[in-house]
Structure 1
Amino acid sequence: MRESVLEVPGARLRHFVRGSGPLLLLVAGGYGDAAVNEALATHLAGRYTVLTYDRRGLSGSTTDDPGLTLATHADDVSHLLSALTTEPAHVYGSSIGALISLELTTRHPGQVGVVVAHEPPVTQLLPEPERALAIEDLLAAEETFKAEGAFPALRRFAKFAGIDPTDREPDVEPRVPGPEQLPNLEFFLTYDAPAVRTHALDLTALKNSPARVVPAVGENSGHIWAHKCARLLAEELGIACETFPGGHNGYVFRPRATAERLHQVLDV
């Protein structure tokens, strides 16, 4: 595995490259840094050159301007890809990572070959009153953070995202929180969570992109609104929605099975 830092406008991005084969970028959900994708990347490295990274403001990546939009994150990823390849890359993103991956696909379509968007919170697709309830969930987490702190807000997120740490592969151990957890979580709740809540995906640009877009859902997350967002996105694009192991955080708790499913989807 090779660790590097790339200077981009307003930020320095720590990233990791391992494996060999076609380039596959993993974009973590929530306040996840590169380490969150480590197990999945390890299972994929036999077939792909796997790129993982810390989003600006998280862990080893710094930012001079924290007033973020998802377009900022998408442009960051574009710079990373440009530094590593001239060919379209495969991209797998989950939750906010899926939104960033889709934004990359609309803003820099020539850089993406296949994008697998696992339960992107595209709230604009939800019918009322479900959309209002989803926005209320996101706002409640932000307000809990301001009133009570980061970890009560995280519990709110975990509840409406249906996170079930017991739904995991036998050899996957719960992560031991490091010193970066709290600052990463605070950064996410301050900047990234509001960016998700206010984001509007350019559906016309997505439909016109040359990339193959693959909306995806967790097999055990049918009760959450992010799951429905992915299914509605598939309907909007007129394509199939693929099912992946586990729930909303399946890529973390079921990395081996997720890697196998990714092989199947990317090999089509």
Structure 2
Amino acid sequence: MPTTATTLHTLSVPGATLHYQTEGRGPVLLLSQSGEGDADRTVDLVPRLADTFTVVTYDRRGLSRSTLDDPARPVTMADHADDVARLLAEVADGPALMAGFSMGAAIGLHTVVRHPGVLGTLIAHEPVMPNLLPEAGRAEHVAELSAIQAAFTSGGLAEAFPAIARHLGIDPAHDTTEEGLTPQPLTPRRKANFEYFIGTEFTAVTTDELRPERLVRAAGRAGTRIVPATGRTTRRTVHTYRCALALAAQLNTEAVQFPGGHNGNAAFPRATAQVLKDVLGG
């Protein structure tokens, strides 16, 4: 596999300083990660895309090297969407491509609404966005996220991790991956990212007021192509899987299947890169 150099950058935005990385050549493709994932989460995926795209990865505000001016201030989905727009203004000359996973997918959907025309195509893989679901499913999704947050408050990550695994249908003892992946140990930095994600960003998700009809209208006006996506092995009862199907129904389209489950982009980077290239026409 050919190698290309990764370039590190910082960008000052209102309330934060963002760390982002670029690699490769071609149309700009922003990867926005799930959970605690920062710019290094896709270390095995990026090199397999860099022959076709200028791949941009970043640490969301509050994670790893993206520092906050005021750590006590709550973060919102609007903050994240604004960060994406400012980041893409730095690296892209026109509408960019974006692949968002879980939290990253929800951020991408907010970007479509708040910043029309910034994204030409958005792949939204299992977005964590309760408002995409009918009322009963929405309430269940919010309650499940709130229960995880409560478990974290009472017992820290030791109690939160099993609840997250159940929520996403993840079975660490039996889930498969491609061979030769870069280890992703639970370092102190990664633990801090998990704590920020559960303690702060869960609230941004559960208090989100964006409705799907507004999203569909915004995408239509801006001419943004939204591609809902699911993991091939994600359990059909998982709320984020159901969110992707609900989004597809709103858009009158079919969801694209990606390898693996909810975190398939990290577990199957080779296969994921090929699907991304196929969907994005690379």
Q: TM-score range by the shorter chain?
A: over 0.9
Task: Show the counterpart of 2:44.
Answer: 39
Q: CA deviation at 1:173?
A: 5.1
1:122: Cα distance to partner? 2.4
Which residue number corresponds to residue 237 of structure 1? 251
**Distance of 1:80 and 1:225 partners within structure 2:** 29
Matched, 1:97 2:110: no
For residue 11 of structure 2, what is the amino acid of its counterpart?
L
Which among 187, 202, 210 is matched to residue 178 of structure 1? 187
- Which residue number in structure 2 is paired with residue 212 of structure 1? 225
How big is the alpha-carbon RMSD for the aligned residues of Structure 1 and Structure 2?
1.5
Contact 1:164–1:247, Cα closer than 8 Å, also in 2: no
Partner residue, 2:68: 63
Structure 2 partner of 1:143: 150
CA contact (8 A) 2:44 2:182 kept: no
- Aligned identity (percent) is 42
The separation in 1 between residues aligned to 2:237 and 2:150, in whole angstroms, is 24
SS of the counterpart of 2:43? helix
Paired residue type of 2:38: D
* 1:109 CA displacement: 1.9
- Which residue, out of 267, 271, 274, partners 1:253? 267
Cα deviation for residue 185 of structure 1 reads: 1.2
Give the partner amino acid of 2:35. Answer: G
* Greater alpha carbon shift after TM alignment, 162-171 vs 223-232: 162-171
CA contact (8 A) 1:20 1:47 kept: yes
Cα deviation, residue 207, structure 1:
4.0
The match for 1:188 is 197
Distance 1:164 1:263, change over 3 A: farther
Cα distance in 2, alignment partners of residues 12 and 199 from structure 1: 23
Unaligned 5+ segments in structure 2 are 1-5
- Between 221-230 and 42-51, report the one with greater CA deviation: 221-230
Query: One-letter code of the match for 2:264?
Result: G
The question of 1:85 aligning with 2:98 is answered no
Q: Do the aligned residues in 2 keep the contact of 1:89 with 1:112 (CA within 8 Å)?
A: yes
Equivalent residue letter for 2:84: V
1:174 is displaced (CA, Å) by 4.5
Contact in 2 for aligned 1:20/1:45 (Cα 8 Å): yes
2-side partners of 1:122 and 1:187: how far apart? 18
Instruction: Tell me what 1:157 maps to.
Output: 164
2-structure distance, mates of 1:206, 1:104: 10
Task: Give me the whole-angstrom Cα distance separating, in 1, the residues matched to 2:183 and 2:19.
Answer: 24
2: distance between equivalents of 1:125 and 1:101? 14
C-alpha distance after superposition, 1:146-173 (max 9, x if no partner)? 1111232122112111124432112225
DSSP-derived class of the 1:109 partner: coil
- 1:34 is paired with a residue of what secondary structure? coil
Q: Does the CA-based 8 Å contact 1:122-1:230 persist in structure 2?
A: no
Q: Which amino acid in the other structure matches residue 136 of structure 1?
A: A
TM-score by length of structure 2 reads: 0.91
What is the alpha-carbon distance in structure 1 between the residues aligned to residue 166 and residue 183 of structure 2?
A: 18
> Could you say what secondary structure the match of 2:44 adopts?
helix
SS at 1:149's partner residue? helix
The alignment covers a number of residue pairs equal to 268
User: What amino acid is the match of 1:241?
Assistant: A
Shift of 1:218: 0.6
Distance in 2 separating the partners of 1:173 and 1:37: 10
1:128 deviates by 4.4
Looking at structure 2, the residues matched to 41 and 153 of structure 1 have their Cα atoms a distance apart, in angstroms, of 29
Q: Any idea what the Cα deviations from partners look like across 1:1-22, whole Å, max 9, x if unmatched?
A: 1001111111000110000010
User: Which stretch shows the higher mean deviation, 13-22 or 200-209?
Assistant: 200-209
